[in-house]
Amino acid sequence: MAGPREKWNSRLGFIMATVGSAIGLGNIWRFPTAVGQSGGGVFLFIYLLIILIIGIPLMIGELTIGRRGQSNIVNVFKKIKPTRPWWLIGVLGVVTGLIILSFYSVIAGWSLSYIYKFSSGLFRTAEAAQAEEIFSSFVSHPWLPLFWQMLFIILTAAIVIKGIRRGIEKASTTLMPLMFILLFLLLFRSLTLEGAVTGLWWFLKPDLSAVNLGIILGALGQVFFSLSLGMGAIITYGSYLSRDDNIPESSFIISSLDLGIAVLAGLIIIPAVFAFDLEPGTGPPLIFITLPLVFAAIPAGDLFGALFFLLLSIAALTSAISILEVVVATFKDIFQQTRKKSSVIAAFLVFLLGVPSSLSMGILDDFLLLGFPFLEFVDFLSAIILLPLIGLLTALFLGWVWTPEKSLVEIEQHGVKFKLWKPWSIILKYILPLALAYILISGIAA
């Protein structure tokens, strides 16, 4: 329904909500998994480079598009460039959002159920075989994971229904600090484990001779996924921004916090894995099988385990909110529906789309797409292909269609100075499109 556009209440509220969007399963589940699979420090190094060269510049661009267009992700492009079909970027973003949230809610549902499993003492004496057994019998159960997934979607929708200030901003400003406290507690626990140092080095020390295209592609997808780029979440949050916010500075703060939390998660998980002589490259189940073993072996492990999954669920929730918000904001304007009705419909769609991902760990485990189980396929499709592709189109739009000169006018409203505008515009016009096109084409061909 049309009305004055909602706005963030405060700058802190905006930063918390956007950091909340950025920090999620991507940092605590996907990042350590990717580091584990691609051999440690080298991944971290490439990841850092890509954040600097691609992540931060694109975040500045996306926030600027959002604030300029003051609308949902389809209309922002129409408003800025009415004559050309660039709004299709927005449509692609909404579709990608639905796909991401469909598998995101599955993993987040697992995380919710693990809070319960730890609190009920299920892992108290889990040995390696048992932890695996607990995980696989749970995820292959025909309806239990669906139940937890649905619960997670309901929680997400309940917050989105309440709107920007009373829903999203309030939830983020309360939940994010709680998450930071929990993280530091766990960090202390993990680093004081005997033998943690080996893992610490493995994680932090880059072996540059190990760089290959697969690692670069993986790190690129991870940057997009983790910074919530290429899907309209940042554009949408930017559209609730008031004119006096300093966009480049905010982008730097948000990206640094996101990176910081990914590194913290790595520092919690990887040294613990090494301290217990476990395997870091086990893929998506890493934190659901390996970590419980760590918790089972330490004093008060139940408590730390429950806390860890509480933390993961909170982080996932504030991200899922931002994904659902993109879809809801668009549905609401385009189909002229209330926020409530749009949220319910979007949530329902997400649940339906998520069913095959959930079942791919059980009944549907024989059904492979390009050799991947369904859940891993949609993860790959969205993070490695769709997000960077939309990022590439957005960079072309910013660099060549709307032009950096016009972005500058929007960025420098109210006396904000953008000192790095020159290098930013070179990155947007040349480096970002070329690098993205190269990595995408060669990575997918390989």
Give me the residues that bind ligand PHE (CB under 6 A), please: 21-22, 24-27, 100, 225-226, 228, 231, 233, 319, 322-323
How far does CA 294 lie from the centroid of its chain?
Answer: 25
- Vertex 192, ends 190 and 196: CA angle to 5°? 70
DSSP 19-32: HHHHSSHIIIIIHH
Q: By C-beta, is 190 or 228 nearer to ligand PHE?
A: 228
* CB of residue 342 to ligand PHE, shortest distance in Å: 18
**Which one, 131 or 254, has the nearer CB to ligand PHE?**
254
Could you tell me if 307 and 75 are in contact, meaning their C-beta atoms sit under 8 angstroms apart? no
Residue 21 beta carbon to ligand PHE: minimum distance, rounded to whole angstroms: 5
Q: How far is the CB of 93 from ligand PHE (least distance, A)?
A: 9
Exposure string for 182-194, b = 16+ CB within 10 A, e = fewer: bbeebeebbbebe
Smallest distance, ligand PHE to C-beta of residue 387, A: 7
Task: Choose between 100 and 270: whose C-beta lies nearer to ligand PHE.
Answer: 100
Report angle CA 40, 43, 45 to the nearest 5 degrees.
Answer: 110
Work out how close the CB of 381 gets to ligand PHE at its nearest, in angstroms, rounded to a whole number. Answer: 13
Q: Which amino acid is at 66?
A: G
- Strands annotated E in 137-296: none
294 close to 272: Cβ distance less than 8 angstroms: yes
Is 178 strand, coil or helix?
A: helix
Neighbours of 423 (CB within 10 A): 11
* Of residues 380 and 421, the one with the C-beta less far from ligand PHE: 380
Rank residues 18 and 113 by Cβ distance to ligand PHE and give the closer one: 18
Sign of the Cα torsion 259, 131, 279, 146 reads negative
State the Cα–Cα distance between residues 245 and 155, nearest whole angstrom: 30
CA angle 5, 92, 238 (to 5 degrees): 30
Q: Which is nearer to ligand PHE, 227 or 275 (CB)?
A: 227
Which residues, in sequence order, are CB contacts of 337 under 8 Å at separation 6+? Answer: 1, 331, 345
Tokens of 195: 């033998």
Neighbouring CB atoms inside 10 A of 408's CB total: 15
Decide: helix, strand or coil at residue 71: coil
**Minimum distance from CB of 320 to ligand PHE (Å)?**
8
Query: Which residues, including other chains, have CB under 8 Å from residue 438's CB and lie 6 or more apart?
Result: none
Smaller CB distance to ligand PHE: residue 195 or 283?
A: 283
Report in angstroms how near the CB of residue 210 gets to ligand PHE at its nearest. Answer: 25
Q: Which residue is nearest to ligand PHE (CB)?
A: 26
Return the half-sphere exposure (C-beta side, CA atoms, 13 A cut-off) of residue 395: 29
User: Minimum CB separation from ligand PHE for residue 317, in Å?
Assistant: 10
Taking the complex as a whole, the smallest distance from the CB of residue 4 to ligand PHE amounts, in Å, to: 26
Strand partners, 372: 369
Two structure tokens written together for 344: 């319910």
Note whether 234 and 67 are within 8 A (CB).
no
Nearest to ligand PHE of 8, 274 (CB atom): 8
| Least distance between ligand PHE and beta carbon 244 (Å) | 25
Residue with smaller CB distance to ligand PHE, 15 or 122: 15
Which of residues 75 and 322 has its CB atom nearest to ligand PHE in the complex? 322
Q: In angstroms, give the least distance from the CB of 228 to ligand PHE.
A: 3
Q: Quick check: 179 and 255 in contact, CB under 8 A?
A: no
59 or 150, CB closer to ligand PHE?
Answer: 59
